[in-house]
Amino acid sequence: MKEVILCKYGEIILKGANRATFESSLVKELRRRASPLGTFKIYFRQSTIYIEPQDDFSDMDAMYDTARHVFGIVGVTRCAVCEKNMDSILETVRAYLPEKLEGKRTFKVEAKRSDKRFPLKSPEISAEVGGVILSMVRGIRVDVHNPEVTVGVEVRDEHAYVRAAQESGAGGLPIRSAGRGLLLLSGGIDSPVAGCMMAKRGMEIEAVHFDSFPYTSERALEKVMTLAEEMCEFCSRIHVHTISLTHIQEAIRDNCDEDYFTLLLRVFMMRLAERCAREYNCQALVTGESLGQVASQTLKAISVTDSVVDIPVFRPCIGLDKNEIVTYARYYGTFETSILPFEDCCTVFTPRHPKTQPKREGVMAELEKLPVEELLEEAYATLRTTTKRIFPEYR
């Protein structure tokens, strides 16, 4: 029995004249991810992407799991393919579904016929398929309001498809369909979530990480690289640029008012990130800030740090509380790594009483105590790049 994977997409349908561009981006991403899993024919038709194995060696289980983590797809299902007649459909139902319905207590059938020439209407198809299921699966009953499993039958242009259930996909838009952004990636919970959330909107993610060796450890850097690897499950590939802030932090400690330490450090980080973004063709910065979560994330503090760059700054977590961010981190698979006890540069020389309602003039006055451009040049010269991929061959 031939089995295929069908992927449904959501808001791409609304893209009008640009729709084909988004569909092509989605198919290209699936083909990249499919390459190490076997030989698959992948194409789109009728608002659905078809993934067809071309031999018995292609890994359908891995391909199914991969498709569920591709942004742009809202639903994924494995289907049996059959001829477009009721005899063939019912024969496929008898052969394909009993194992998948074993132990289930309730079900309903949803039938769709894209080919309106098919002699039976959708309710009639559902009734016939439902009757067969009731006759062959012991103890199961129909529940159209809250079924344990929804059986699907789709009659399309060339074939009919029978499935037991459909799982949710990652949603959003295909990666690389909305430009490129540079994520300020720390070792915490928030920034990996922010990066994945922007990737869900079609943004290709690069990252910059600031270290403070020897005040932060090699294990802290390894933690960040692990987070980038975990993000690749959804983001596919991330170039991680690492910049040392050690001398900048020492200069701030030795010359500036302690209450401004966090804000001044943030100003340097934003300036360096902007330069990195422009060099690597990123059109925006992305941060994991949540309004009011810490001293540097008050409205006035954010206004100060935004004022030192001339590039858009996206903060997808800005209105989320910590519990909501943790829920996302668990979904994206980064939470367990994020809570490992290795500190990042933001915990070095932390002020006892940080400014929470700063004025820009006060921050600028503190900056005048420092050789700002010299420190920026010295720090940027430490930039090193490491690339993380969902698998080694991914391009």
161 neighbors 81 (Cβ within 8 angstroms): yes
**Average pLDDT of every residue of the chain:** 93
Would the pLDDT of 345 be above 70?
no
Domains and CATH numbers, the chain: 3-168 (3.30.2130.30), 180-389 (3.40.50.620)
Q: What token pair was written down for 260?
A: 């401004």
Tell me the DSSP string of 362-394.
HHHHHHTTS-HHHHHHHHHTT-EEEEEESSTT-
Residue 70 is predicted with a pLDDT of 97
* Mean pLDDT computed over 213-237: 93
* Mean pLDDT computed over 5-13: 92
| Measured distance CA(26)–CA(11) in Å, rounded | 13
End-to-end CA distance of the chain: 34
Q: What is the pLDDT of residues 288-311, one digit of tens each?
A: 999 988 877 889 889 989 999 999
* Mean pLDDT computed over 190-209: 97
Label residues 281-310 b or e (16+ Cβ within 10 Å = b): ebebbbbbbbeebebbbbeebbebbeebbe
Would the pLDDT of 351 be above 90?
no
Do β-strands 141-142 and 106-113 pair in parallel, antiparallel, or remain unpaired? parallel
